[in-house]
Amino acid sequence: MLYDFSILTSKIHEWLFAHCSPAMALLLEYVIIGTCVIGLCVFLGVSFVYMERKVAAFMQIRLGPNRVGPKGLLQAVADVVKLLLKEGIIPQASDKFLFNLAPFIVMMVAMLALAPIPFALGLQMYDINIGVFYISAVSSISVIGILMAGWASNSKYSLLGAMRSGAQIVSYELSAGLSIIAIVALAGSMSMNDIVESQRTGWWIFKGHIPAIIAFVIFIIAGTAELNRAPFDMAEAESELTAGFHTEYTGMRFAMFFLAEYVNMFTICAIGATLFLGGWMPFHIGQWEAFNHIMDFIPPIIWFFGKTFFLIFVIMWFRWTFPRLRIDQLLTLEWKYLMPISLANMILAALVVIMGWHF
């Protein structure tokens, strides 16, 4: 490949260990990675707020933010400043320790889930051979933070929103997990790097045939539901629950929930892009060497972010197109339709692998 970040990362690693003690060098590496993750999360939060408003405006044939800064670019920055300056109010009858802890748990889980995702060749925080399993396990912890926020707020609206969110996330995790298993079966590995490498001759969405396409559709639907975004936003139904589990949160605590939602959306779409659309791997077609070589000139990080932002646009498109489901419709969709289809699709994927029907 033309662009390999492992050269840069190995040079930084060697320089730190040459000039510092091993313990200090390791600590500095952790600080650098942590700073980059926090910077990425802040950038994603600000850019997604602006993108969300512009996509909503596009769908509704209007302009969107266009007053603060050129083309409204500073509107999201103004919102961040407003949240930073707002007073953080803690309800008098709330469980103050859990009330303060909940947004930190949700935000930490959102950051931890980014660890095994390869952003480009050699640009990965944590290369683990069970990356897919790690993400599935870590992302499940966010339910604890949501339930904690609903309970600690001592508000019926917050508690109802948290219970709905818990039921929704736990339910749709099954379909999302089964759709991921189909790709794991096709790739023959749970390592994110191995899955990307297995798509060197074509992305799984194309060469995985029907099982990969079904898994992709189910993954996008289940991922949208796990994010509590419309049309699955029963946990935050403004017309019923005012704001769901974060009704009582203000200032930076609310901003952390808000930011975690967008970071989780990026994570879901990054996983989808990695498993189904090749991740940072350029668009290759079999043995078409000349075409594949031209595609290699586009940097892998651009491929990765391009695919991820395309999936983010699709999820935003859902929000401004479909009406909100009722809670019974939401659970019926999962248990009566997506779950059986996912199980059948997993068997079909196994058959395709055993028979060698994929490219």
For residue 242, the model assigns a pLDDT of: 64
Higher local confidence (pLDDT), 291 or 220: 220
* Residues sharing a CB contact under 8 Å with residue 137, sequence separation 6 or more, in sequence order: none
pLDDT digits (tens, 9 = 90+) for 233-277: 876 666 665 667 888 888 889 899 989 999 999 999 999 999 999
Please check whether residue 98 lies inside any domain of the structure: yes
For residue 74, the model assigns a pLDDT of: 92
Structure tokens at 27: 């600590």
Range of the domain at 319: 88-355
For residue 241, the model assigns a pLDDT of: 57
For residue 271, the model assigns a pLDDT of: 95
pLDDT digits (tens, 9 = 90+) for 93-119: 888 999 999 999 999 999 999 999 999
Helix residue ranges, H only, the chain: 6-19, 22-59, 75-85, 96-112, 131-139, 142-152, 156-187, 192-197, 204-207, 209-226, 238-241, 251-276, 289-295, 300-319, 327-332, 339-355
Please check whether residue 194 lies inside any domain of the structure: yes
State the average pLDDT over residues 156-168.
86
Please check whether residue 22 lies inside any domain of the structure: no
For residue 228, the model assigns a pLDDT of: 85
Please check whether residue 334 lies inside any domain of the structure: yes
For residue 251, the model assigns a pLDDT of: 85
For residue 207, the model assigns a pLDDT of: 87
Please check whether residue 67 lies inside any domain of the structure: no
Share of the chain above pLDDT 70, in %: 96
Total structural domains within the chain? 1
Please check whether residue 8 lies inside any domain of the structure: no
Please check whether residue 158 lies inside any domain of the structure: yes
The closest alpha carbon to 72, from 97, 41, 49, belongs to 49
